[in-house]
A = this chain, B = another copy of it.
Amino acid sequence: MNKRIGKQTAALGEPPVIAQTASIVGVKEGEGPLAQYFDEILTDDKWGEKSWEKAESKLQKETALKALSKAGLSPEDIHYALAGDLINQCVGAHYGMRDLGVPFLGLYGACSTMTESLSIGSMLIAGGCADNVLCVTSSHFCTAEKQFRYPLEYGGQRTPAAQWTVTGSGAAILSKNGDGPKITHVTTGKIVDMGITDLSNMGAAMAPAAIDTLTAHFIDTGRRPDYYDLILTGDLGVVGSDILQELMLDDGYDIRELHNDCGKMIFDIEKQDVHAGGSGCGCCGSVFCGCIYEEMKKGTYEKVLLMATGALMNPMTVEQGETIPCIAHAVAIER
């Protein structure tokens, strides 16, 4: 039986298995340190399509099909597809999932969408409402940059705290039965807004949400940081990761040796000129579904707390004088 523990956590009685994953990334991501893990690396970020948006939809579709194929499943075996992305009205997911013919539930959690989808997906399976669920997210540097910041042709300067939106997609198949790492606990974040207004410093905006959810997870479960081999945030980047580690230490949780961040891992931050690191739903998606899942299967990690973070504003709200509300969702993944 599933049960609520504490204020924000569901402990899953029959934890679903992450049966398979897949990841496809863009050119720059394929030049980074995790290249060996991805199922496919594009040689052209438009991937033969007429627009970046169409390319992003193709990323989601092909990554989902790759995960299905690796798992030996067909779309008919999937009870729910849970997907999202950053483009207005989540059209990356809608056009990407259109041809699959799978019952579809659209999510928007900004860069937290990968763990939002794993959270809902695992609870639906553990609750007996589904046998197999497909979780997919994507982001694309070019679709995000033009929408959230400047036209690419403008060549706007980037501040040191800015992050580089990952071109990539990750897909995970959760199953009721089978082998693989299991999602045992789901800690769902509250919206946290500490008054940051700098759209070029998402790490600082999102770090308080990460702290809030991580602390809730430790309190709800009674676990300490060293229960985990790895506490992996989605895309706090260099700036946000430093804030997270420091403020958690102030609260008595030393995560410095255990914490890493997908936005720091996917690029060589010095050599690839990405300033504070990677970001986007495709960052956590491709790093988890590429690298971390593989390493868990190999036994490098036994217990991982995966927590993607998201900034829930849009450019218009910030122009209207609003601050940036953020969120973080955590799932405990254990072998």
A residues sitting closer than 8 Å to B (CB atoms) are 1-4, 7-8, 10, 12-13, 50-51, 53-54, 76, 79-80, 84, 86-91, 94-95, 97-98, 100-110, 116, 119-120, 123-124, 126-131, 186, 188-191, 193, 312-314, 316-317, 320-322, 325, 327, 329
Q: Which 6 A-B pairs have the closest CB atoms?
A: A127-B127, A103-B188, A94-B312, A2-B128, A89-B314, A10-B129
Given contacts A50-B320, A53-B316, A320-B54, contact A188 B105 (CB under 8 A): yes
Residue in A84, A108, A193 whose Cβ sees the most chain B Cβ within 10 Å: A108
Q: Is the CB of A106 within 8 A of B104?
A: no
Q: Is the CB of B98 within 8 A of A313?
A: no
Q: Is the CB of B101 within 8 A of A53?
A: no
Nearest CB in chain B: distance from A100 CB, A: 8
What is the CA–CA distance of A84 and B120 in the complex, to the nearest angstrom?
16
**How many copies of this chain sit in the oligomeric assembly?**
2
Report B-chain residues with C-beta under 8 Å of the C-beta of A51.
Answer: 320
Report B-chain residues with C-beta under 8 Å of the C-beta of A119.
Answer: 105
What is the CA–CA distance of A252 and B169 in the complex, to the nearest angstrom?
42
Residue in A191, A316, A322 whose Cβ sees the most chain B Cβ within 10 Å: A191
Contact of A127 among B97, B98, B105, B129 (CB under 8 A): B129
Contact of A3 among B53, B104, B108, B128 (CB under 8 A): B128
Q: Is the CB of B91 within 8 A of A88?
A: no
What is the CA–CA distance of A143 and B188 in the complex, to the nearest angstrom?
29
Q: Is the CB of A106 within 8 A of B95?
A: no
Given contacts A126-B127, A128-B1, A190-B103, contact A89 B88 (CB under 8 A): yes
Closest residue of chain B to A90 (Cβ to Cβ) is B108
Interchain residue pairs with CB less than 8 A apart (20): A7-B103, A8-B103, A89-B312, A90-B108, A91-B313, A91-B314, A91-B316, A97-B191, A101-B191, A102-B190, A103-B190, A104-B191, A105-B119, A105-B120, A105-B188, A120-B120, A120-B124, A124-B127, A127-B127, A129-B186
Q: Is the CB of A128 within 8 A of B13?
A: yes
Residue in A8, A54, A314, A317 whose Cβ sees the most chain B Cβ within 10 Å: A317
Nearest CB in chain B: distance from A98 CB, A: 5
Q: Is the CB of A107 within 8 A of B104?
A: no
Closest residue of chain B to A116 (Cβ to Cβ) is B105
Nearest CB in chain B: distance from A40 CB, A: 24
Residue in A4, A53, A316 whose Cβ sees the most chain B Cβ within 10 Å: A316
Nearest CB in chain B: distance from A180 CB, A: 21
What is the CA–CA distance of A120 and B129 in the complex, to the nearest angstrom?
10
Report B-chain residues with C-beta under 8 Å of the C-beta of A105.
Answer: 107, 109, 116, 119-120, 188, 329
Closest residue of chain B to A213 (Cβ to Cβ) is B103
Beyond the given A53-B317, A88-B316, A105-B116, please list 20 additional residue pairs across the A-B interface where CB-CB is below 8 A. Answer: A1-B128, A2-B127, A4-B79, A86-B89, A90-B108, A90-B312, A91-B314, A91-B316, A94-B191, A94-B312, A95-B317, A98-B191, A103-B189, A104-B188, A104-B327, A105-B329, A120-B120, A120-B124, A127-B127, A129-B186
